[in-house]
C-alpha cells in the first residue's frame, strides 16, 4: 500500500494505469511531433525565442517536453481520480448494471428505468468495464478514442486550408484548453457527443467547401448522416440540428446559400432515417416509454423549461461568463486572434465561427444550462485561438507584441488561482468554506515552479508557451487527484470516491445502504450494490413511477424500519451533515457512529432500531 496525504491507495494499480496511458499518449504524441518537425527542421537545431516567419514553433526540444507534460496531465486526470458525482457515477453505473444483468438492451440505474440519454455511450463504456473490471479508471478508458478521434478530425479539417506550420499549434491549443482538458475527460455523454458532432461538422464542410467535387458532396453528406445518427444515439437531436444550423449560417455568410440544395440531401436524409428509425423502434420495445420521455421531456420540455423537474436554471449570459475560464490558459490570445483575423479570414475561419456561435447561442437560449452543454463548440474555438491568436507570426509592430504579452496573462491567471486556492485551504483562511488540503498536494508546486522558471526564458515562442501551459494543466490534474486528500476532493469537485472505496472494502454481502435526501450514483458503483433512497426521487422519479411494484424511495420512518427488519447485516446511512442537523433530528436516536471518516458533505452512521 502507498500512503499519500493520510489516504491509502494501491501502488500496483497506479503503476498499471501509468503504463496504460503512457503507451497511448506517447504513440499519439510521437505522431504529432513528427508532423510538427520534419527531419530537416529538427536537424537545423533552431532555438530562437520569437515567433517569426522562419521560426513559428520554437525549439523542437521544448515542444517535445511540452507534449510529454501535456500527456502526463491528461493521463492523471483520466485515470487517477475518483468519480465526480452525480454525472460520472451515473454513466458508469448504467453500463455496469447491463453487464451484471447480462442484458444490454435495457437502460437501468439502481434497477430503475433510466431514459434521460440514449444507449450508445453505455455500449461504448461497458466493454471496458467487462475487460478491466469495475474500476473508475476502466470506465474512462473509452474516452481516449473520442478524444483522439476529435484531434484527427480537426487535423483533417484544417490541413488543406491553413499553412502547414500553423496546423500543429492550432491542434495543440485546442487540446490544451481547460474546457477540453476537463470536459472531454469526464465520463459523460458529452465527451462522446463532441466526437460525433465534430465528425458531422467536418463532413458538412467538406461537402460544401468551395471547389468541392460531386463525389465530395455525396460522400460528405452521407458521412454526415451516418455520424449524425450516431450522435443522436449518444445524446439526441443536437448532433444534427446544430451542425445543420452552422452550415446554413456559413453558406449565408459566404453568399453561397443557393448551393445548399442538392439531390444528395435526399439519400442522406433517407440514410439517417434508415439508421435511426429501427434503432428507436428497438429501443422503445425494450424500454417502454423511452420515445415519449426522451423526445418530449428531454428535448422539448427541457429546452423550454416546462419539465416537471427542471434543473440547472441559469441566466442567459451564463455561458458567456463561463467561456473565459474554460478557454484558459489561451483565453486572452482571443484578443490577438480577433485583431489578426479581422479582414483576413477565409471560408474555413468563417465556418468555425458559425460552428462555435450556433452552439453557444442555442444553449444560452435554453432554460437549462450546464458547463458540458457547450463542449461541442470547443474544437472550433480552440482551432480559431490557435491559428489566429497563437500560430500567427508576430508582425514586428509594438501593438502585436503587446497583444502577444496580453495572451500570456492567461497562464498567470491559472498559476495564481492554483496557488491561492491551495493557500486558502492549507492555511485555513476560510475554514467554514474551504476544508484543509492534504500535505502531499504540495507536489503541485513542482510544475507550477517549473512554469514560472520557464516563463523567464521562452514565452515568445509557441513551444515555450505550450510548455508553461502544459505544466499548469499538470498542476491542475494533481490538485484534482487523490493527492489533495479526502475533504478537499469533496469540496473541489464533489468526489467522495475515497470514502466510498473505504466503505466498499468493509462491506459484507448482507450489509445494506441507505442515502438520506440525496442522490449518489457513484456510491452504487463503488459499493457494487444499489442503495435505498430515503425521501428523494430526483431523476430516478420516472423509473420509480414506471414500475410501482418495485420498492422506490422510502418516505417514512416506518418504511425505514421495515428496511432495517429485512437487513441481515448492517444498515449504513449516508447523510449530509447539514441535513443531519436540520432534517433527521427525530431519528438520530437510532444512529450509531461508525469509524468511517466524515467529509464536508457526508456522515456515515449505522441505523439500529430498538425493537
With a cut of 70, say whether residue 458 has pLDDT above it.
no
Count up the domains in the chain and report the number.
3
Q: Compute the distance between CA of residue 172 and CA of residue 462 in angstroms, rounded to an integer.
A: 10
Sign of the dihedral defined by the CA atoms of residues 431, 436, 437, 439, in that order: positive
- Integer CA distances (angstroms), 163 to 160, 387, 391, 393, 438, in order: 8, 9, 10, 12, 47
297 lies in the same domain as 233: yes
Same domain for 167 and 307? yes
Whether residue 99 lies inside any domain: the answer is no
> In a 10 Å sphere around its CB, with 0-12 CB exposed, 13-18 middle and 19+ buried, how is residue 367 labelled?
middle
Do the beta carbons of residue 83 and residue 524 sit within 8 Å? no
Whole-number Å distance between alpha carbons of 145 and 198: 13
Same domain, 67 and 181: no
pTM recorded for the entire structure: 0.89
3-state secondary structure of 374: helix
Determine, yes or no, domain membership for 45: yes
Position 19 scores a pLDDT of: 44
Mean pLDDT of 448-452: 86
Residue 122 inside a domain? The answer is: no
- Can you tell me the distance from the alpha carbon of 579 to that of 560, in angstroms, rounded to the nearest whole number? 17
Residue given cell 525565442 in the structure block: 49
Give φ, ψ of 96 to 5 degrees: -65, -40
Q: Given pLDDT bands bounded at 50, 70 and 90, which one contains residue 126?
A: very high
Higher pLDDT, 483 or 21: 483
* Mean pLDDT (whole number) for 437-453: 90
Structural domain for 197, as ranges: 143-391
CA separation for the pair 363, 236 (Å, rounded): 14
Q: Is 138 inside a domain boundary?
A: no
Whole-angstrom distance, CA of residue 138 vs CA of residue 17: 9
Q: What is the DSSP string of 176-214?
A: T-HHHHHHTTSSSHHHHHHHHHHHHHHHHHHHHSTT--H
Residue 15's pLDDT band (cuts 50, 70, 90): very low
Distant-in-sequence, close-in-space partners of 467: CB < 8 Å, separation ≥ 6: 62, 63, 65, 66, 69, 451, 454, 458
232-249 burial by CB neighbour count: b if 16+ within 10 A, else e?
bbbbbebbbebbbbbbeb
* Mean pLDDT value across residues 101-126: 93
Judge if the upstream peptide bond of residue 86 is cis by omega within 30 degrees of 0.
yes
317 and 449 together in one domain = no
Give residue-wise pLDDT tens across range 292-330.
888 777 766 665 555 555 556 788 899 999 999 999 999
| Average confidence (pLDDT) over 122-127 | 96
Please check whether residues 201 and 287 belong to one and the same domain. Answer: yes
> 301 and 169 in one domain?
yes
DSSP state letter for 262: -
In tens, the pLDDT along 218-268 reads: 999 999 999 999 999 999 999 999 999 999 999 999 999 999 999 999 999
Give the Cα-Cα-Cα angle 60, 63, 67 (nearest 5 degrees). Answer: 135
Query: pLDDT exceeding 90 applies to what percent of the chain?
Result: 67
Give the sign of the dihedral formed by CA 302, CA 304, CA 305, CA 306: negative
User: Are 186 and 194 contacting, i.e. CB atoms less than 8 angstroms apart?
Assistant: no
Q: What is the pLDDT of residue 303?
A: 58
The cell numbers describing 48, all together, are 530562437
Write out pLDDT tens, residues 69-95: 999 999 999 999 999 988 999 999 999
Residue 486 near residue 499, CB atoms below 8 Å: yes
Distance CA 406, CA 394 (A): 13
Contacts 24+ apart (CB under 8 A), 157-166: 157/201, 157/202, 157/205, 157/206, 157/348, 157/383, 158/348, 158/383, 158/387, 161/346, 161/347, 161/348, 162/348, 162/387, 165/56, 165/57, 165/391, 166/56, 166/386, 166/387, 166/391, 166/392
Decide: residue 277, CB within 10 A, 0-12 exposed, 13-18 middle, 19+ buried.
Answer: exposed
Helix, strand, or coil (residue 23): helix
Q: Is residue 129 part of a domain?
A: no
User: What pairing do the DSSP bridges indicate for beta strands 112-113 and 512-516?
Assistant: unpaired
Mean pLDDT score, 38-42: 35
**505 shares a domain with 486:** no
C-alpha span between 432 and 605 (Å, rounded): 23
Res. 44 pLDDT band, cuts 50 70 90:
very low
Decide if pLDDT at 161 tops 70: yes
SS3 readout for 236-260 = CCHHHHHHHHHHHHHHHHCCCHHHH
Residues 288 and 377 in one domain: yes
Mean of the per-residue pLDDT values for the chain? 86
Query: How confident is residue 473, by pLDDT bands cut at 50, 70 and 90?
Result: very high
Domain boundary among 391, 426, 449: 391
Alpha helix (H) residue ranges in 80-177: 87-101, 120-132, 136-140, 144-158, 167-175
Domain boundary among 460, 495, 530: 495
CA atoms within a 13 Å half-sphere pointing along the CA-CB vector of 609? 15
Beta-carbon neighbour count of residue 173 at 10 Å? 29
Mean pLDDT for the stretch of residues 31-36: 40
Q: What is the structure's pLDDT at 308? A: 54
**Shared domain check, 381 and 444:** no
Spatial distance between the Cα atoms of 30 and 164, rounded to a whole number of angstroms: 17
Contact (Cβ atoms closer than 8 angstroms) between residue 169 and residue 155: no
Please report which confidence band the pLDDT of residue 3 belongs to, taking 50, 70 and 90 as the band edges. Answer: very low
187 belongs to a structural domain:
yes
**Is residue 152 domain-shared with residue 285, that is, in the same domain?**
yes
pLDDT at residue 12 tops 50: no
pLDDT at residue 343, as a whole number:
80
Tell me: do 462 and 501 sit in the same domain.
Answer: no
Question: Which of 344, 364, 391 corresponds to the end of one domain?
Answer: 391
Q: Which of 137-146, 168-177, 227-236, 449-458 comes out lowest in average pLDDT?
A: 449-458
Q: What is the pLDDT of residue 106?
A: 93
Give residue-wise pLDDT tens across range 490-545.
988 889 999 999 999 999 999 999 999 988 999 999 999 999 999 988 888 888 98
Task: Please check the confidence at residue 113 and state whether its pLDDT lies above 50.
Answer: yes
Q: 108-109 and 603-607: which strand pairing?
A: unpaired
On whether both 234 and 383 belong to a single domain, the answer is yes
Strand order in the sheet with 512-516: 532-534, 512-516, 571-575, 603-607, 591-593
How much is the pLDDT for 270? Answer: 97
In a domain, 159, yes or no: yes
In a domain, 400, yes or no: no
Mean pLDDT along residues 454-460: 68
Helix (H) or strand (E) segment spanning residue 574: strand 571-575
Amino acid at each position: 500500500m502507498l500512503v499519500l496525504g493520510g489516504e491509502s491507495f494501491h501502488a500496483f494499480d497506479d503503476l498499471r494505469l501509468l503504463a496504460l496511458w503512457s503507451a497511448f499518449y506517447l504513440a499519439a504524441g510521437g505522431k504529432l511531433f513528427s508532423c510538427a518537425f520534419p527531419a530537416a527542421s529538427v536537424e537545423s537545431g533552431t532555438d530562437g525565442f520569437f515567433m517569426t516567419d522562419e521560426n513559428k514553433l520554437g525549439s523542437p526540444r521544448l515542444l517535445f517536453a511540452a507534449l510529454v507534460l501535456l500527456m502526463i496531465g491528461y493521463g492523471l486526470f483520466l485515470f487517477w481520480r475518483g468519480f465526480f458525482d452525480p454525472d460520472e457515477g451515473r454513466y458508469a453505473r448504467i453500463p455496469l448494471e447491463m453487464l451484471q444483468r447480462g442484458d444490454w438492451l435495457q437502460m437501468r440505474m439502481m434497477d430503475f428505468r433510466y431514459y434521460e440519454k440514449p444507449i450508445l455511450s453505455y455500449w461504448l463504456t461497458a466493454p471496458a468495464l467487462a475487460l478491466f473490471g469495475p474500476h473508475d479508471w476502466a470506465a474512462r478508458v473509452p474516452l481516449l478514442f473520442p478524444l483522439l478521434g476529435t484531434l484527427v478530425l480537426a487535423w483533417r479539417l484544417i490541413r488543406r486550408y491553413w499553412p502547414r506550420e500553423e496546423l500543429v499549434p492550432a491542434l495543440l491549443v485546442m487540446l490544451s484548453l481547460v474546457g477540453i482538458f476537463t470536459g472531454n475527460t469526464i465520463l459523460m455523454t458529452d465527451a462522446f457527443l463532441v466526437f460525433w458532432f465534430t465528425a458531422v461538422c467536418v463532413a458538412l464542410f467538406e461537402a460544401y467547401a468551395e471547389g468541392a467535387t460531386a463525389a465530395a458532396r455525396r460522400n460528405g453528406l452521407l458521412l454526415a448522416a451516418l455520424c449524425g445518427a450516431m450522435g443522436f444515439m449518444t445524446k439526441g437531436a443536437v448532433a444534427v440540428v446544430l451542425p445543420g444550423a452552422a452550415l446554413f449560417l456559413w453558406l449565408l455568410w459566404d453568399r453561397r446559400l443557393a448551393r445548399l440544395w442538392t439531390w444528395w440531401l435526399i439519400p442522406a436524409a433517407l440514410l439517417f432515417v434508415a439508421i435511426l428509425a429501427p434503432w428507436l423502434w428497438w429501443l422503445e420495445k425494450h424500454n417502454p416509454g423511452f420515445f415519449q420521455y426522451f423526445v418530449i421531456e428531454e428535448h422539448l420540455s427541457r429546452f423550454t423549461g416546462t419539465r416537471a423537474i427542471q434543473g440547472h436554471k441559469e441566466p442567459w449570459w451564463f455561458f458567456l461568463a463561463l467561456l473565459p475560464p474554460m478557454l484558459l490558459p489561451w483565453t486572452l490570445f482571443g484578443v490577438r486572434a480577433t485583431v489578426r483575423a479581422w479582414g483576413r479570414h477565409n471560408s474555413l475561419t468563417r465556418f468555425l465561427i458559425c460552428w462555435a456561435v450556433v452552439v453557444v447561442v442555442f444553449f444560452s437560449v435554453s432554460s437549462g444550462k450546464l458547463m458540458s452543454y457547450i463542449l461541442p463548440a470547443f474544437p472550433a474555438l480552440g482551432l480559431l485561438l490557435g491559428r489566429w491568436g497563437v500560430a500567427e507570426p508576430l508582425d514586428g509592430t509594438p501593438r502585436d507584441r503587446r497583444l502577444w504579452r496580453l495572451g500570456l496573462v492567461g497562464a498567470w491567471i491559472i498559476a495564481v488561482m492554483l496557488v491561492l486556492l491551495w493557500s486558502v485551504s492549507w492555511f485555513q483562511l476560510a475554514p467554514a468554506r474551504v476544508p484543509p488540503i492534504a500535505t502531499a498536494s504540495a507536489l503541485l508546486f513542482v510544475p507550477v515552479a517549473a512554469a514560472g522558471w520557464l516563463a523567464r526564458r521562452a514565452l515568445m515562442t509557441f513551444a515555450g508557451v505550450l510548455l508553461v501551459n502544459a505544466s499548469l494543466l499538470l498542476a491542475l490534474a494533481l490538485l484534482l487527484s487523490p493527492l489533495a486528500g479526502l475533504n478537499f476532493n469533496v469540496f473541489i469537485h464533489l468526489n467522495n470516491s475515497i470514502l466510498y472505496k473505504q466503505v466498499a472494502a468493509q462491506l459484507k454481502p448482507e450489509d445494506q445502504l441507505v442515502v438520506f435526501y440525496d442522490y449518489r450514483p457513484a456510491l452504487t458503483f463503488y459499493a457494487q450494490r444499489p442503495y435505498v433512497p430515503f425521501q428523494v426521487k430526483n431523476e430516478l422519479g420516472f423509473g420509480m413511477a414506471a414500475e410501482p411494484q418495485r420498492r422506490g424511495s422510502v418516505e417514512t420512518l416506518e418504511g425505514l424500519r421495515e428496511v432495517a427488519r429485512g437487513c441481515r447485516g448492517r444498515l449504513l446511512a449516508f447523510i449530509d451533515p447539514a441535513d443531519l442537523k436540520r432534517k433527521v433530528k427525530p431519528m438520530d436516536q437510532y444512529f450509531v457512529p461508525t469509524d468511517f471518516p466524515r467529509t464536508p458533505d457526508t456522515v456515515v452512521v449505522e441505523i439500529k432500531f430498538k425493537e
